[in-house]
Structure 1
C-alpha cells in the first residue's frame, strides 16, 4: 500500500512559507525530480521524504531558517554533498522533515598563507579546497574517495578521515575555528585563526563529529601545511600481516615521520580491480596475500624522499619483510597506482552483495583483528569472503565481507546485523571502535548502546538536550534513545 503524503499543520505551512520568502526561488526546491537524488543515501540503503529542501546562500539565511523552524517545531536534516556512508544526511519516511542543503555556501572567505590557514564556507567541495591551498603553495591534507563531490561542512560534521591521517590527523585535527548556527537560530562566530587560545572550553570540538545533531557548521578556519615538493610512492608485497606493522614503524622512522599514507590491500583485491574496473592494472605478475601502498612526502625536489624510500625497501628486502615492489617512475604511474587503490572499492561491488565495516583498533592490533575477524565470520558462514583493506597507518580497517559464491544475495544480506555484531565484537575486544571515519548516523546509532558506557551516553544525551532541547536537529541520528 502506498504511504500517503504528509499534510503539514497550519503552523508548519506558515513556517515553510516564511522560509521560502526568506530564501527566494533559488533557495527553495520542492519538485520531486530534483529532490529524489537527495532523498537516498550514497549506499542506497535509506530513502526518505521531506517537506522540501532549503538551500541558503549565506549564514544569515541559515540562521533565519533555524529560528523559524525552532518556533514552529520543524525538524531539520542538514546535508552537504550527500556522500555519507551511514545514512546521517537522509530524512526519514514521515515526510515531516526539512532538508537544509549547504551547497550554495561555497565561498573561500580568506587564505592566509603566512598563518597557514584558510577560512571557507561549509558548501565548498573538498577537492576545490585542495586546489585553492595548492595555488597558495600550501597543502590541505584531507583526502578521500568522494573528494570530488563531498563538502567540507559534511567532512567536519562527520570527522572524516582518509588516506593522510597517519601524518596529518582526522578532520577535527585540521580545524582552528568554526562558525555554527545553533538550533534556535543564534550564530556562534568562532572563526579564530589562533593555534593558542586557552580561554576556556574548546567549543568547536563539540560540533566536529556531531553529524548535525547540535547545530549547523556554516564556515571553518582550516589548517594548511607546507606543500610537498616530492612524493615518493611504492606498492609492495609483504611477507605476512604482521610485517605491515613492522614496515610501518620502519617507514615512519626512515622518513623522519614524513610518511603520508600507508594503505593495506589484499592481493586478490588488485586482481578484482583489474578484472572489473576499466583502467585498473595489477602491477605484479603474481597475486600476493598482502600488499602495502605507501607514500612519503618531501619538502624539496632533490630526490631525498625517493632515496629514503629506496633505502627503506632495500633493508626490508634484506630482512625478508618485503618480497616484491613497484616504484612508479612518473606522475602518471603514481596516479595509476592510486587509481588501483580506489578501484578495489568498486571492484568488490561487482562481486556481489557486501557487508561493510569501518572499524579501528590500535595499530599494533591490526593483524590480530583481521585474523580473529576472519576466523569469526568464516565460522558463522563457511565460504564467506573477507575483503579487509584500508588505512593501517592509523589503525582504520574497512573490514568488508563479500557473499559466498554459492549463496543468494538476499540470504547473505539477511544476516547483515549478525555479521556486523560479530565483527564489532572483535574490534571492541581489542580496545577498538565501531566507527573510525564514517560516523554513526542512522546505521550505527543503536550499536552505540553496546560500545559506549552509561556515563558516556548520558553525557552525549545531556549535550543534545542542552543545545537542542526540542530535538529538532537531525533527529534519529547518532544519539541512541534512552
Structure 2
C-alpha cells in the first residue's frame, strides 16, 4: 500500500505539496505562538483535488487542517499534532464576474478579500466585509470563522453575506450548495452551519457572495472621548440620529494608540487632544447629494455640547480617511510588536461595553497587578478585542 505522504506528493506535484523549509510559513500562526511541524502542506488547485486529498487523509487516519490566509490569532489554522496535513487553499484564487442582476459573485475559497474588493470596484459594487487583515485573509477563512469586520452591525456577519457554498466533507465527498437565491426555505440552511464551523464540518472550496452597490458619498471622523461611557452614549445617539447612513462605528483605547504610534513610525495622530478612548465614525450613502459632512459635523457638535466629545476631525480627503482607519486597523500589530500578550474576542450588548471594560479591568488587575489592558473593536455591535 502506498504511503499517504507519497500518494499526496505524486497526486499534487511539486506546486501542490510542500514539506521541510518550504512548509514552514504555513505551520506557525500569525503571532508565532501556535503550530507544530505537520507531515506537509497540500495546496490543491481545484475542488476535485481537495476532495482527493481529504479522501487520502481520511483513509489513512490523518488529521486535516484547512488553512486560508493563516491570519488567525488562536492557532485554529495550524497543526497541533505531527500526524496532520495542512490543506492550504492558497492556489484556489479565482474570482468570477459579478452577476449584476442577482447582486452576487462566485469566488474560490483562496481568493484574498482585498483582491475581491479590487475586482468589484469597476462594476460599482462592493462586498461589505472590511478588516485589518483583508490584504491576506481569504474567503474560505472568513466563512470558516463567520467573520464580522467593521460593518457587521450594518450588513451582518459572513453567514449573512453567503448565498451559497461548495464544501468538501470529511470523507472527501463534494456538497454542492451553490445557490444564488436570497430567499431559500427549502429545508435546512446547511451553508449557515459551515459559517463559523472553522473547517470541522468540511472544507469550503467555493462561495457565492452577496454584493451591494458601492456608496457614492462617504464622510469619516475620528472622535476623542473622555471615557467608554461617553463613547457608548455617543454611539447610541449616532444610531438614532444618522442610523440610515451609519456604516462604521469603531473604537480603540489610548493605550492601543500609544502602542501603535510607538512601533509603527509611519502612523500619524494629528488631533490636539487625547482621551481614554477614540471612536471612528463613517457615514455612507448611494445618493451623491446627501450632505454627509454636514450631518457628521452636526453630530460632533452635539457631542461636544453634551460633554461626550473632547475633540474630533472630519476626513478632508481619501488619504486622510485612510490615515484614520490605519490607527484602528494597526491595533493588533502594535500589540504584537510590544511583546507577550493575552488576547480574547468578546461580544457584549453595545450598551454594556463600558461596564464590561470597567469590571474587566478590576478583575484583571486583581489577578495580575499593573497589567495593561487594550480594548478595541466594534462599538456598533459590541464586539471587543480584549
TM-score (norm: length of structure 1):
0.77
Separation in 2, partners of 1:281, 1:344? 13
Counterpart residue number, 1:382:
369
Q: Do the aligned residues in 1 keep the contact of 2:113 with 2:136 (CA within 8 Å)?
A: yes
Counterpart residue number, 2:70:
82
Q: Pick from 254, 275, 294: which aligns with 2:241?
A: 254
* 1:56 aligns to 2:19 (yes or no): no
Indicate the RMSD between aligned Cα atoms, in angstroms.
Answer: 1.6
Separation in 2, partners of 1:348, 1:16? 38
Counterpart residue number, 1:314:
301
Counterpart residue number, 2:35:
47
Q: Do the aligned residues in 2 keep the contact of 1:121 with 1:218 (CA within 8 Å)?
A: yes
* 1:72 aligns to 2:57 (yes or no): no
Higher relative contact order (Cα pairs below 8 Å, separated by 6+ residues): 1
Structure 1 residues 15-414: aligned runs within 5 Å: 15-30=4-19, 32-93=20-81, 95-399=82-386
Q: Pick from 3, 6, 11: which aligns with 1:14?
A: 3
Q: Which moved further from structure 2: 266-275 or 43-52?
A: 266-275
Q: Do the aligned residues in 2 keep the contact of 1:141 with 1:164 (CA within 8 Å)?
A: yes
Q: Do the aligned residues in 2 keep the contact of 1:19 with 1:68 (CA within 8 Å)?
A: yes
Q: Do the aligned residues in 1 keep the contact of 2:66 with 2:203 (CA within 8 Å)?
A: yes
CA distance 1:397–1:33, shift in 2 (3 Å): same
Separation in 1, partners of 2:335, 2:40? 35
Secondary structure of the residue aligned to 2:98 is strand
Deviation at 1:81, TM superposition (A): 1.1
Mark the runs of 5 or more structure 2 residues left unpaired by the alignment. none
Separation in 1, partners of 2:193, 2:259? 41
1:455-476 alpha-carbon deviations (Å, 9 max, x no partner): xxxxxxxxxxxxxxxxxxxxxx
TM-score (norm: length of structure 2):
0.95
| Number of residue-to-residue matches in the alignment | 386
Secondary structure of the residue aligned to 1:188 is strand
Runs of 4+ in structure 1 over 4 Å off: none
Mark the runs of 5 or more structure 1 residues left unpaired by the alignment. 1-10, 400-482
Secondary structure of the residue aligned to 2:330 is helix
Deviation at 1:58, TM superposition (A): 0.7
Deviation at 1:397, TM superposition (A): 0.9
Deviation at 1:303, TM superposition (A): 4.7
